[in-house]
Amino acid sequence: MRVIAGKYKGRQLRTVADLSVRPATSRVKSSVFNILQNRVDWGESLVLDLFAGSGSLGIEALSRGARRVVFVENSKRAVEYLKQNVALIDASSECEIVAADVFEYLARPRALFDVVFADPPYDFEVLKRLPAMVFQSGVVSPEGYLIIEHPQELHFEQSLLCEEAVVRKYGRTVVTFFQSRLEGRP
């Protein structure tokens, strides 16, 4: 797994050897960042990487100029690899690694984020409600995006807080971009 663009392009990232962590493929990652390219000012952006695993998505955002990334991961093994990957790119001053359950973090958010990545396990029991839960926590800025990678057979519950803005399919994998439903949003 490599960083695909930006100042860390080509850096090889480490991940857990078993399949307990499922990093985004290069194809999916490339597409996600192509979609965000004209929607996000990376130099000013704050990024939250939920279910971070190895940190592949957040590190890609840093490589493209994100100002700061907060990684949230509860697997101790994945956190060790995440720490190694942040050290590999020498970006510890631009990162915060939170070794905690995602919902514990969302219960006490500390900032508004321009981009929130969520790549949870596909069998995650509350996956259908995840967009509403993330927007209800208040972590997504009014103009921000929540991007969730999920299986194609999943259909999210409707929410008054957010709406699907972009949906892309890659075989059995789907990436859905959500935005706030708040009036006045551009």
CA 150, 151, 157, 162 torsion: positive or negative?
A: positive
End-to-end CA distance of the chain: 35
What is the model's pLDDT at position 97? 97
Give the range among 35-44, 57-66, 99-108, 175-184 with minimum mean pLDDT. 175-184
Domain 26-180 has CATH 3.90.550.10: no
Strand partners, 174: 150, 169
Q: Which of 121, 118, 135, 22 shows the shortest CA–CA distance to 71?
A: 118
- Quote the pLDDT of residue 183: 54
Q: In what order do the strands lie in the sheet with 46-50?
A: 95-99, 68-73, 46-50, 113-118, 140-151, 173-180, 162-170
Q: Any idea where the domains of the chain sit in the sequence? A: 26-180
Taking residues 116-132, what's their average pLDDT? 88
**Tens-digit pLDDT profile for residues 41-93:** 999 899 999 999 999 999 999 999 999 999 999 999 999 999 999 999 999 99
Query: How is residue 126 written in tokens?
Result: 């509350």
**What pTM did the predictor assign?**
0.91
Quickly count: other Cβ atoms within 10 Å of residue 162's Cβ. 21
Q: Report pLDDT for 23.
A: 59
- DSSP state letters, 50-87: ET-TT-HHHHHHHHTT-SEEEEEE--HHHHHHHHHHHH
Mind listing the pLDDT tens digit for each residue in 127-171? 899 999 999 999 999 999 999 999 988 889 889 999 999 999 988
In the prediction, which pLDDT does 61 show?
Answer: 96
Strand pairing report for 68-73 and 46-50: parallel
pLDDT of residue 76: 93
